[in-house]
Structure 1
């Protein structure tokens, strides 16, 4: 009898950024893996920093399917919201394809909705609101598709852990060790309830202290600056346009139209998937 196979797909969150281990990262998925079974678990982490839904579909999914996992996590979407190419229709179609491929193999699917990056970074309202709107759109799609494919879904976009500074790394976007452990514990609880985790619960207690204020400032002055510059080249021009649109609508008292527009786009994206699944769709 082969060991339980767990394959993790996604971006830097699942790669483990914020939870250092040696020369690399560990992260919530690696912390969760031993708790899936009483015997050793075969764990493969295919997640990569900066990945978007396109990367998960085109690169990570083919590699993951070859491994024929018993459990697969697909936690992705934040990087899509940070790009000028953001398209909720494309995000929905890609996630639908990925979820369908793994569940067709019989894998237990793990998903999560995520906090919006604008709030985590503390951006001004006019800049934060468009990103929040995008992340809500992605989360709505993930919620709907998770239900469709009977996924084990974690509501990670809410809860007191978001405002607990001890849960987060110096960059304010990725969990620190304690935060990654919190995700592992919460996923284990859900999996155990579904009968898909038979090993020990991951420890919630970190091995290392949370980053100090000086460490946070050092990150912002070094790696953080480079991260902001990389994102600004791609996102900032469009984000400024979104912010101007936001301010115009607020001045006119028509901000609700932006929310309605996003809701309509999400509904259309999900409806398009439903139509595509019909036998007469062709």
Structure 2
């Protein structure tokens, strides 16, 4: 989902300025709640499908390298508020990816990057392609086990997939949502097994639908709008701050 209209760019700029504490012409880190897990020189990698991809650039151009979504919003806020920490945010989400697609590129796109924090959001394409639940769990479990084996100190953030009844998703929504809920439960089990932070986006979107129609948050039932991505960024930060309340010991 490309961001073309000037009004949307102004919105993103406003979010960045407000989050970084620069709207008044100054850097106000005190206005941004610190994330203890973001230690100095930390490398934070976002992995997943199109929701994470966010139409990101494939060149080193820093204007577009993180895409236009929740990963960008988290990075913009904390990169500006805590420049002295030299945080390195990376995005390797690819549109359409399933767990098996991630596995095919895991070495070069994840392990070789040696992240300190690895955030993964995947599952909606496994649902869309009818990947059996047991296969989804087994493949995901193996991926996480391989990751921890390669880097025992890594901090994992598992984001559960989500869905809202918008557009084509309205058709047989109860059936679709039941499958998504099953995958949410799988992600929760894997998070517990691998000692990962679990980000539950579904309750956040469900609550937000009490304030505005579902289309305001997720335009097609799967891909969030800019408003939806802000909710995701906020929930991601809240979860990570709570799960790791203290800075990690450095090697």
Normalising by the smaller structure, the TM-score range is: 0.5 to 0.7
Residue among 27, 36, 43 paired with 2:89: 43
CA drift at 1:22: 6.4
Unaligned runs of 5+ in 2: 1-38, 57-62
Residue 188 of structure 1 is matched in structure 2 by 237
Closer/same/farther in 2, CA of residues 132 and 145 from structure 1, 3 Å limit: same
Partner of 2:188: 143
Tell me, in whole angstroms, the C-alpha distance in 1 between the residues paired with 2:240 and 2:218: 26
Q: 1:153 aligns with which of 177, 198, 202?
A: 198
TM-score by length of 1: 0.60
**Given the alignment, which residue of 157, 160, 163 partners 1:113?**
160
Q: Whose helix proportion is higher, 1 or 2?
A: 1
Tell me the C-alpha RMSD between the 2 structures. 3.0
Q: Which residue number in structure 2 is paired with residue 87 of structure 1?
A: 132
1:171 equivalent to 2:220? Answer yes
After superposition, give the CA deviation of every residue in 1:74-127 in whole Å (9 maximum; x if it has no partner): 11000111114x21121111111222233331211111222235x2436456x2
Q: CA offsets per residue over residues 22-66 of structure 1, 9 Å max, x none?
A: 699321112223538932321221101111111111214542011
CA drift at 1:161: 2.3
Distance 2:41 2:141 in 1: 28
Q: What is the deviation of 1:140?
A: 1.1
In 1, Cα distance between equivalents of 2:141 and 2:100: 12
Unaligned segments of structure 1, at least 5 residues: 199-282
- Number of residues of Structure 1 aligned to a counterpart in Structure 2: 193
